Amino acid sequence: MRTKVAITVAILALLLNSSCAALHHFDPAYNNFEQGLALFNQGRFTAAASFFERATRENPDMAEAYLYLGRSYISQSRWSEAIQPLRTAFRLAPKESQQEIMNLIIDASVAAALNDFHLGDRLTPPARLNDP
């Protein structure tokens, strides 16, 4: 009798564990995140960003999707666009991950500022000495 109960408990625990793992397969945000992550790891950052954007719309509390959306923008040199998703990731992330995210926010902010500074130089025609 005791072995039957132990086997039944073990089977129930196994079923419960596998059903919790299977829940992600029905979550569209998780599926989009996984597809985006696969593209990100292949270096296809533009395609990955669209999947991360969908994941953040479907699950606004998914810190990982915001983090990788920001990282995708950084990898495309879209510095200014990276800041907001990284800030959201920082807000949602556990404390132990926040320092890494803060470093990315600082890098993106500095790069965006430098990029804007250099673009401003190129867009403004140089002043001539003889102009009134």
Tell whether the model's pLDDT for residue 6 goes beyond 60.
no
Confidence of residue 115 (pLDDT cuts 50, 70, 90): confident
Query: pTM, whole model, 2 decimals?
Result: 0.71
Tell whether the model's pLDDT for residue 67 goes beyond 60.
yes
Tell whether the model's pLDDT for residue 102 goes beyond 70.
yes
Angle (deg, nearest 10), helices 79-92 and 95-123:
160
Helix, coil or strand: residue 11: helix
Q: Are 109 and 83 in contact (CB under 8 A)?
A: yes
- What is the pLDDT, as a whole number, of residue 117? 72
Tell whether the model's pLDDT for residue 101 goes beyond 50.
yes
Q: Are 77 and 116 in contact (CB under 8 A)?
A: no
Share of the chain above pLDDT 90, in %: 62
Phi-psi region of 126 (alpha: psi -120 to 50; beta: other; left: phi over 0): beta
Pick the CATH number of 23-123 from 3.40.190.150, 3.50.50.60, 3.90.1070.10, 1.25.40.10: 1.25.40.10
